[in-house]
Amino acid sequence: MENEIKLTKLASCAGCGAKVGAGTLTEILDKLPTLHDPRLIVGFDKSDDASVYIINDELALVQTLDFFPPIVDDPYMFGQIAATNALSDIYAMGGEPKLAMNIMCVTKQMSKDTIYAILRGGYEKAFEAGAIITGGHTIEDIEPKYGLSVSGFVHPQKVLKNSTAREGDVLILTKPLGIGILTTAAKADMVEPSVLNRVYEQMATLNKTARDIMVKYDIHSCTDITGFALIGHSYEMAQGSNLTVHLDSHSVPFIPEAYALAEMGMIPAGAYRNRDYAEQGVTVSKNVSVAMQDIMYDPQTSGGLLMAVNEKDATRLFNELKDSIEHVAIIGHVTKRGQSGIVID
């Protein structure tokens, strides 16, 4: 496989940075007809991470789909990251993934070994999550893409939505930001291999541990931070909950090397789409640097969970998460609705 074209050279964009802008999606989806079913308790009306359909009083089905072009050149790692990212949507709803199906686009330049390595990465991450890949669909395309359609289960009374935060909640984030900036800079060979290896390892880390810990506490709302960035996903939480989300820029974790690159202007196109979507609802203090704002608008691939937890449980939850997750941080709180959906200090 050494002589093959690098996977990232076969794609015009990478990872969750390939997502269509949130504003564009909202405009399109608002015009689509849809059936009403009282058993569907989460659909696309709140821009949530997955759909949830009640099967009975004890069981609800959680479904999601996520795929994207390569964000790394190593096919095995690409498969791991893409699968981890797709599985994360189930965790963000408080669920457990159980079944998955492959979604794959291959190019004529890709060898059978490369295709196998991508699939092996996905299968191994699904196995780690306790989910079974039962099949899938593969087509030829001009760009490679891979991901999963995932089904999971959750108790109907324990579903976590991105639109149900409450006044007084504390916000906890489980992975540092900066993925989009670093992978953009990597295309220009501006990132040390050791740093990239840490980035890849972070993207391939399941949110399973974070989910398993958080469901023991009084969590009111949750989402995972992916293509719409910390600000975009926080803005959706604020809008859906009709509250204001306050983010403490000094507490937001980020990969240290991303800051200098942001100052140099190594910003992915997706960050500008995120800014266009949310900026009108964001108030920023004068002491927050432009580079830090760019990090908070940076599209993440396979990012962490953002939890809105009851204030009385926040310290205990944070301490338990900290024992297992290196970069977890308390990054803000939720108040009654003010003039802005997001306030950054």
Q: Three-class SS string for the chain?
A: CCCCCCHHHHCCCCHHHHCCCHHHHHHHHCCCCCCCCCCEEECCCCCCCCEEEEEECCEEEEEEEEEECCCCCCHHHHHHHHHHHHHHHHHHCCCEEEEEEEEEEECCCCCHHHHHHHHHHHHHHHHHHCCEEEEEEEEECCCCEEEEEEEEEECHHHCCCCCCCCCCCEEEECCCECHHHHHHHHCCCCCCHHHHHHHHHHHCCCCHHHHHHHCCCCEEEEEECCCCHHHHHHHHHHHHHCEEEEECCCCCCECCHHHHHHHCCCCCHHHHHHHHHHHHHEEECCCCCHHHHHHHHCCCCCCCEEEEECHHHHHHHHHHHHHHCCCCEEEEEEEECCCCCEEEC
The pLDDT-based confidence of 229 (bands split at 50, 70, 90) is very high
Residue 108 marked ligand-binding: no
Percent of the chain with pLDDT strictly greater than 70:
92
Q: Is the pLDDT of residue 202 over 80?
A: yes
Residue 136 marked ligand-binding: yes
Quote the pLDDT of residue 215: 97
Distance of CA 182 to the CA centre of its chain: 16
The residues pairing with 139 across neighbouring beta strands, listed in sequence order, are: 105
Dihedral angle over CA of 106, 111, 115, 116, nearest 10: 160
Rounded to whole angstroms, how far apart are CA atoms 234 and 238? 6
The pLDDT-based confidence of 2 (bands split at 50, 70, 90) is very low
Residue 46 marked ligand-binding: yes
The pLDDT-based confidence of 42 (bands split at 50, 70, 90) is confident
Quote the pLDDT of residue 4: 58
Q: Phi/psi at 28 (nearest 5 deg)? A: -70, -50
Quote the pLDDT of residue 187: 87
Residue 208 marked ligand-binding: no
Superfamily (CATH) of domain 170-344:
PurM-like C-terminal domain (3.90.650.10)
Mean pLDDT of the chain, nearest integer: 92
Decide the pairing of beta strands 51-56 and 40-42. Answer: antiparallel
pLDDT for 45-83, tens place per residue? 657 778 999 999 999 999 999 999 999 999 999 999 999
CATH class held by domain 7-158 = alpha beta
Quote the pLDDT of residue 314: 98
Q: Is the pLDDT of residue 15 over 70?
A: no
Percent of the chain with pLDDT strictly greater than 90:
85
Burial class (CB in 10 A: 0-12, 13-18, 19+), 129: buried
Q: Which of 31, 173, 162 is nearest to 94 (CA)?
A: 162
- The domain limits of the chain are 7-158, 170-344
Q: Is the pLDDT of residue 185 over 50?
A: yes
Residue 34 marked ligand-binding: no
Please state the pTM of the whole predicted model: 0.91
Catalytic residue among 13, 16, 105, 222: 16
Q: Phi/psi at 193 (nearest 5 deg)? A: -55, -35
Quote the pLDDT of residue 24: 62
Q: Is the pLDDT of residue 17 over 60?
A: no
222 contacts 90 by C-beta, under 8 angstroms: no
Residue 276 marked ligand-binding: no
Residue 66 marked ligand-binding: yes
The pLDDT-based confidence of 334 (bands split at 50, 70, 90) is very high
Residue 137 marked ligand-binding: yes
Quote the pLDDT of residue 8: 78
Quote the pLDDT of residue 233: 96
Rounded to whole angstroms, how far apart are CA atoms 268 and 163? 27
Q: Is the pLDDT of residue 297 over 50?
A: yes
Quote the pLDDT of residue 161: 95
Rounded to whole angstroms, how far apart are CA atoms 242 and 212? 28
Quote the pLDDT of residue 18: 56
Q: Is the pLDDT of residue 20 over 90?
A: no
Q: Is there a catalytic annotation at residue 16?
A: yes
Residue 224 marked ligand-binding: yes
The pLDDT-based confidence of 5 (bands split at 50, 70, 90) is low
The residues pairing with 247 across neighbouring beta strands, listed in sequence order, are: 332, 344
Rounded to whole angstroms, how far apart are CA atoms 283 and 267? 21
For the segment 113-118, the average pLDDT, to the nearest whole number, is 96
